[in-house]
Chains A and B, each alone.
Chain A
Amino acid sequence: MKQFIRKLRGLFNRLFGSKREIRLGIYGEPNTGKTTIANKISMDWLGEPVGVVSEMPHTTRMIQKKEHVEVKAGNKTLNMNLLDMPGLATQVDYKQFLKYKRLPSNPGSNVSFSDLSVSALKKIAKNKEIKLTAKAKKATILKKVKAEVKDSELSALAKELKIKIKAKKITGKYVQSEAKTLAEEATKAIIEAIKWLDNVDNVIVMMDSTKDPLTQVNIMLLGNLEAKGIPVVICANKTDLPKAKPAAIKDAFPQHPVVEISALKGTNLDELYSTIAGQVA
């Protein structure tokens, strides 16, 4: 049924030359460069970044959207909503976060519960009419607020209530409680990313060319996209590294176009754009 609607939409667009925007989902395992490519595309064509890039897996714990990105691909124009997805994984161990330094969070954007002070939490509780006892500890307040406020509304709410989010100190590693919060957010983000497979029109699957591409996550991801009839472009990323073996990706997934890129250096993006454009009806 979904596939049928998709086809109908494609036909409609061809007939009336509609400038409907495609929703381009950027999927892949953690640390493959999804946010780097999303930022690169958005910076080049909109002049603003999408999200935070870091060597820490699961840095993107919420779907990051950039709307109305207009990209020239040869003589075509691609109108898209960019969706930078959290990295897909089959496991999330909170202990992995303990070895990373806290990220200097972009103040205000993408607020997470771990950013909030006790007074900020109390402010939210008041706004949401959550009853608190005078002696309530931070953990209790956090629990009650979390039950009422979704992760996704937090940033907007913080802005509305004029809660100042301090850029976190770069020094110091994550402590256990923070790591547990990060892990919980990462698991929710993965569930969300999987759900969104039903809402994207086209997908870039990012792979790190220095790693073995035949992973169950890649196979599961491509299997789902194939079953849903969603056009896929695989990006063999990080080709700037000497260890990169993009040929291994081509061998592993001959059924899809593979574009060799370096998201970091911005290499070969024209080929990426024209390949996507070729897949848009």
Chain B
Amino acid sequence: MAKTKAKSKPKAKKTKTRKTPGLDMDFISMKTLSDLTVEKRINTILKKVKEGHMVVLDAALDADEEAKLVTATMHGIDGEFTGIEFCTLEKSNTMAVNVLMRLLSSIFRASITKPGLTFVGPSYLIEKIKRDPDAFYVSTRRKN
């Protein structure tokens, strides 16, 4: 616990004094992360989320990776970082994978079609995620 805290301290400060009032969205190809170990991959994602970014990957995390993501998140929770909201869509050949992300608090509206994907965001920025079998809808909260 203490270790994680020490490491994330500068990041936490950055969250507080962010310059841009809008949303930061990072779209990352799984290819760039595939050389890393699962732990490092998850840390890379979490680091961005702790900075207040929404992260979208072009592949779905598997069940084990999801559990590791939640475990790493729990280790990182302190007074400032309250956790994540995330959503994975699995590769599907039978269904047309259709993703529509509604970001209510900003003008942002994007639709991506990929065989699998993962969305991770800081919980304080996400009002709720509503999911269907083949889509999910993200409603964000306005930053104070």
Contacts and interface: CB of A to CB of B under 8 A. Distances in A.
A183 B66 CA distance: 21
B24 interface: no
Contact of B67 (A92, A187, A194, A215): A194
A227 B64 contact: yes
A67 interface: no
A191 B7 CA distance: 20
A109 B67 CA distance: 30
Given A220-B63, A223-B62, A194 B82 contact: no
Nearest to A94: B79
Interface string B63-104: 110110011011101010011111110000000000000000
A188 interface: yes
B123 A220 contact: no
A191 B83 contact: no
Given A190-B74, A214-B131, A216-B129, A92 B63 contact: no
Interface residues of A, number: 26
Given A91-B84, A93-B123, A226 B63 contact: yes
A187 B84 contact: no
Interface string A215-257: 1100110011011000000000000000000000000000000
Contacts, number: 71
B130 interface: yes
Main SS class of interface, A: helix
B132 interface: yes
B85 A212 contact: no
A160 B138 CA distance: 51
Nearest to B77: A187
Interface string A89-108: 11111100000000000000
A220 B74 contact: no
Given A214-B131, A216-B129, A91 B67 contact: no
Interface residues of B, number: 27
Contacts of A188: 74
A40 interface: no
Contact of A90 (B79, B86, B124, B133): B86
A101 to B, nearest CB: 22
Given A91-B123, A92-B74, A191-B75, A224 B67 contact: yes
Interface in A38-95: 88-94
Contacts of A219: 88
Contacts of B85: 90-91, 216
Contacts of A89: 83
A176 to B, nearest CB: 9
B132 A92 contact: no
Contacts of B129: 216
A22 interface: no
Contacts of A23: none
A191 B76 CA distance: 11
Given A90-B84, A91-B73, 16 more contacts: A89-B83, A92-B82, A93-B83, A180-B79, A187-B74, A187-B77, A190-B70, A191-B71, A191-B75, A194-B67, A212-B130, A216-B86, A219-B88, A224-B67, A227-B63, A227-B64
6 contacts: A91-B82, A93-B83, A187-B77, A194-B70, A216-B86, A224-B63
Interface of A: 88-94, 180, 183-184, 187-188, 190-191, 194, 197, 212, 214-216, 219-220, 223-224, 226-227
